[in-house]
């Protein structure tokens, strides 16, 4: 089987299991999505969705957020972990959005990555899920699955993102990102993984996957 045939089969499997890909983080606009994605670092989407209603009741715009004290923000988002750092980033990026972007979240990767607490992966999620522009956010989970499935030999998420963008059609990037996340949670988890029961690993998994 050629690499192109393998990629086509993986696309087909993901489409079969996850034809619909709802955005997992609750949000109402670009700003609430940006904040939610920032909070999701080292935290589950479920936990973020439990925390954000109280946060956005306190402040749901950059203008309202900068009026809050970082420690008050931290008190609300504490269940998400890293609350001192995240609260400071939320407060600072809200100020920058007001000063440099008229209170709006920019639809530009470089501008997003310059915001406090916003790395490449967070910016990619906002670009793809918020603005619908092509991006392929790769975190450690997608990196792990891509390696298991023999789609990359990359030792880091940067190389894996390049490999996935090269292998998959650009028009599918946004949906594939979510499909892989959903598939990984249900069929290809980090712990308790059963390769023979995984619809993709059972066909394309590396030998090392079956030995682990």
**70 in the same domain as 57:** yes
> Which residue range is the domain that position 175 belongs to?
3-21+136-211
Separation of alpha carbons 197 and 95, rounded Å: 49
The last residue of one of the domains, among 98, 116, 131, is 131
The gap from C-alpha 62 to its chain's centroid, in whole angstroms, comes to: 22
**190 in the same domain as 105:** no
State how far the alpha carbon of 141 is from the alpha carbons of 25, 85, 96, 110, 148, in Å: 17, 23, 31, 24, 11
- Classify residue 117 by its DSSP letter: T
Grade residue 19 by pLDDT with cuts at 50, 70 and 90.
very high
The DSSP code sequence of 51-78 is HHHHHHHH--SHHHHTTS-HHHHHHHHG
The last residue of one of the domains, among 92, 112, 131, is 131
Per the annotation, the verdict on 57 as an active-site residue is no
**192 in the same domain as 141:** yes
At 1 the pLDDT is: 82
| For residue 197, pLDDT beyond 70 | yes
**146 in the same domain as 115:** no
**44 in the same domain as 109:** yes
The last residue of one of the domains, among 131, 150, 175, is 131
**192 in the same domain as 161:** yes
Average pLDDT of the residues of the chain? 95
Catalytic residue among 45, 60, 86, 139: 139
- Classify residue 207 by its DSSP letter: H
Q: What is the pLDDT of residues 117-167, one digit of tens each?
A: 999 999 999 999 999 999 999 999 999 999 999 999 988 999 999 999 999
**127 in the same domain as 69:** yes
pTM over 0.85, yes/no: yes
**57 in the same domain as 7:** no
Q: What percent of the chain has pLDDT over 90?
A: 93
**142 in the same domain as 109:** no
For the chain, where are the E strands, in sequence order?
A: none
Q: What is the CATH number of the domain that holds 101?
A: 1.10.340.30
**123 in the same domain as 44:** yes
**106 in the same domain as 15:** no
At 212 the pLDDT is: 55
At 63 the pLDDT is: 98
Question: Which class for 92: exposed (0-12), middle (13-18), buried (19 or more C-beta within 10 A)?
Answer: middle
Grade residue 114 by pLDDT with cuts at 50, 70 and 90.
very high
At 207 the pLDDT is: 77
Q: How many helices (H) and strands (E) does the chain have?
A: 14, 0
Per the annotation, the verdict on 139 as an active-site residue is yes
Catalytic residue among 121, 155, 163, 171: 121
Q: What is the CATH number of the domain that holds 146?
A: 1.10.1670.10
Q: What is the mean predicted confidence (pLDDT) over 192-211?
A: 88
Residue 3 CB coordination number (10 Å): 10
Buried-exposed string 56-89: b where 16+ CB fall within 10 A, e elsewhere: beebbbbeebbebebeebbebbeebebbeebbbb
| For residue 37, pLDDT beyond 80 | yes
Q: How many domains does the chain have?
A: 2
- Classify residue 199 by its DSSP letter: T
Question: Contact at 8 Å (CB) between 127 and 39?
Answer: no
Grade residue 98 by pLDDT with cuts at 50, 70 and 90.
very high
Handedness of CA 111, 65, 43, 105 (dihedral sign): negative
Q: What percent of the chain has pLDDT over 70?
A: 99
Q: What is the pLDDT of residues 168-190, one digit of tens each?
A: 999 999 999 999 999 999 999 99
Longest CA–CA span in the chain (Å) reads 59
**144 in the same domain as 207:** yes
């Amino acid at each position: 089987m050629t690499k192109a045939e393998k990629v086509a089969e993986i696309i087909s499997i993901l489409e079969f299991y996850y034809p619909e890909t709802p955005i997992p983080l609750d949000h109402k606009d670009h700003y609430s999505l940006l904040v939610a994605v920032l909070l999701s670092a080292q935290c589950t989407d479920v936990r973020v969705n439990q925390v954000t209603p109280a946060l956005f009741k306190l402040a749901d715009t950059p203008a309202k957020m900068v009026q809050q004290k970082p420690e008050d923000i931290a008190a609300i988002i504490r269940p998400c972990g890293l609350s001192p750092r995240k609260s400071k980033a939320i407060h600072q990026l809200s100020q920058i959005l007001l000063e440099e972007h008229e209170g709006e979240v920019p639809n530009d990767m470089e501008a997003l990555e310059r915001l406090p607490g916003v790395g490449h992966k967070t910016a990619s999620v906002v670009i793809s899920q918020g603005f619908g522009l092509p991006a392929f956010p790769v975190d450690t989970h997608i990196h792990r699955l891509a390696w298991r499935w023999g789609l990359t030999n990359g030792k880091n998420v940067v190389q894996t993102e390049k490999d996935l963008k090269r292998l998959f059609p650009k028009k599918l990037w946004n949906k594939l990102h979510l499909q892989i996340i959903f598939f990984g949670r249900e069929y290809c988890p980090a712990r308790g993984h059963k390769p023979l029961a995984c619809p993709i690993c059972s066909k394309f998994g590396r030998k090392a996957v079956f030995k682990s």
